[in-house]
């Protein structure tokens, strides 16, 4: 469960995230959408406890991230959009290293590593250095590392970027099955099809503020009749007029 109350991040006089209130209950797959620069990554980094809010609170399964960061991080898996990864470790060493951060090792972790690497077609690469991995392979390794200790809550920033169609499908199925088992996932994405097909609820953020939140049906209802497809719904909710801007660029 993730609870945000008045969550705010300012950089000088600029407000990147503006007093967000959001509840993501147990067992929900929650999509976080918004245009470039809307505040998605900033929000997710505050939830993960790696960026200090200017104001407001984050609770993960009832634990205040600011007051008890170690306890909060123990139940959390975070998949950043631009992950840092040690190039000189093999895939297996990297996963063991991450498991160690959560105080876990031994046969259970080894078995889970094998399961996750098999799922993502990486098993034969387990003993190769990460520096030889492609972008998509690194992404799959990072995703595997977040699932290793079976965290109650996963926060994931743009997980589909760089994945081939098979891996994207596997990841969507993994997210769905994981939340069906009572875990919570909050995911930012620009892939509207992913939001529509797998998320239980979504929120749309723009200019640091939540513009709309609910199920896809509720969002369609909120804009009234006539929104054809998710792309148009998104553009209406964020007040963007891509077609007009395109004509202005071409005619300038
Ligand atoms: P995208 O979809 O492009 O990844 P986003 O919704 O994840 O965008 P953020 O990365 O959260 O957006 O950025 C929100 C705003 O905060 C942007 O205007 C960005 O320029 C600004 N911002 C982020 N980090 C900093 C920083 N360290 N200093 C100043 N401004 C920042």
User: Residue 208 maps to which CATH number?
Assistant: 3.40.50.300
The residue whose C-alpha atom lies closest to atom 9 belonging to ligand 1 is 39
The Å distance, Cα 34 to ligand 1 centre, comes to 12
- Establish whether residue 29 lines the binding site of ligand 1, counting it when its CB lies within 6 angstroms of any ligand atom: no
- Establish whether residue 13 lines the binding site of ligand 1, counting it when its CB lies within 6 angstroms of any ligand atom: no
The reply to whether 148 falls in a domain is: yes
Tokens 């992404």 found at: 139
The reply to whether 18 falls in a domain is: no
Q: Which atom of ligand 1 is nearest to the CA of 39?
A: 11
Name the pLDDT band for 230 (thresholds 50, 70, 90). confident
Please report the pLDDT score of residue 243 as a whole number: 52
The reply to whether 9 falls in a domain is: no
Q: Which atom of ligand 1 is nearest to the CA of 35?
A: 2
On average, the pLDDT of the chain sits at 90
- What number is the average pLDDT over the span 98-114? 92
The residue whose C-alpha atom lies closest to atom 27 belonging to ligand 1 is 11
Q: Which atom of ligand 1 is nearest to the CA of 208?
A: 14
- What number is the average pLDDT over the span 207-228? 83
d(CA 227, CA 204): 16
Q: What's the total number of domains in the chain? A: 1
The reply to whether 157 falls in a domain is: yes
- What number is the average pLDDT over the span 24-40? 94
- What number is the average pLDDT over the span 233-245? 69
Please report the pLDDT score of residue 65 as a whole number: 96
d(CA 249, CA 21): 37
Helices 135-147 and 165-180, interaxial angle, to 10°?
10
- Establish whether residue 16 lines the binding site of ligand 1, counting it when its CB lies within 6 angstroms of any ligand atom: yes
Range of 174's domain? 26-52+59-251
Q: Which atom of ligand 1 is nearest to the CA of 43?
A: 11
* Cα–Cα distance list, 84 to 39, 124, 206 (Å): 21, 22, 27
The Å distance, Cα 80 to ligand 1 centre, comes to 14
- Establish whether residue 34 lines the binding site of ligand 1, counting it when its CB lies within 6 angstroms of any ligand atom: yes
Please report the pLDDT score of residue 238 as a whole number: 80
**Is the pLDDT reported for residue 203 higher than 70?**
yes
Of the listed ranges 145-159, 192-206, 216-230, the least confidently predicted one is 216-230
Please report the pLDDT score of residue 233 as a whole number: 78
Strands 184-188 vs 29-33: parallel, antiparallel or unpaired: parallel
Of the listed ranges 11-25, 94-108, 203-217, 231-245, the least confidently predicted one is 231-245
d(CA 91, CA 99): 12
Q: Which atom of ligand 1 is nearest to the CA of 81?
A: 4
> How many Cα neighbours within 13 Å face the side chain of 42?
24
């Amino acid at each position: 469960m993730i609870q945000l109350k008045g969550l705010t991040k300012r950089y000088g006089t600029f407000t990147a995230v503006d007093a967000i209130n959001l509840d993501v209950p147990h067992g929900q797959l929650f999509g976080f959408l918004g245009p470039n620069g809307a505040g998605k990554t900033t929000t997710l980094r505050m939830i993960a406890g790696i960026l200090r809010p200017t104001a407001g609170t984050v609770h993960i399964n009832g634990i205040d991230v600011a007051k008890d960061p170690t306890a909060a991080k123990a139940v959390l898996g975070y998949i950043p959009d631009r992950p840092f990864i040690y190039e000189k470790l093999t895939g297996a060493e990297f996963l063991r290293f991450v498991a160690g951060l959560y105080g876990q090792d031994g046969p259970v972790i080894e078995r889970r590593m094998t399961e996750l690497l098999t799922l993502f077609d990486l098993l034969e690469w387990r003993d190769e250095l990460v520096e030889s991995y492609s972008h998509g392979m690194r992404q799959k390794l990072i995703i595997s590392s977040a699932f290793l200790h079976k965290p109650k809550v996963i926060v994931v920033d743009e997980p589909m970027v760089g994945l081939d169609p098979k891996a994207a499908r596997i990841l969507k199925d993994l997210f769905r099955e994981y939340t069906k088992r009572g875990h919570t996932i909050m995911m930012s994405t620009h892939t509207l099809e992913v939001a529509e097909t797998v998320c239980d609820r979504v929120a749309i953020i723009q200019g640091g503020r939540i513009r709309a939140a609910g199920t896809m049906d509720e969002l369609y209802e909120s804009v009234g009749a006539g929104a054809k497809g998710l792309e148009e719904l998104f553009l209406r909710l964020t007040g963007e007029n891509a077609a007009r801007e395109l004509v202005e660029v071409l005619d300038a």
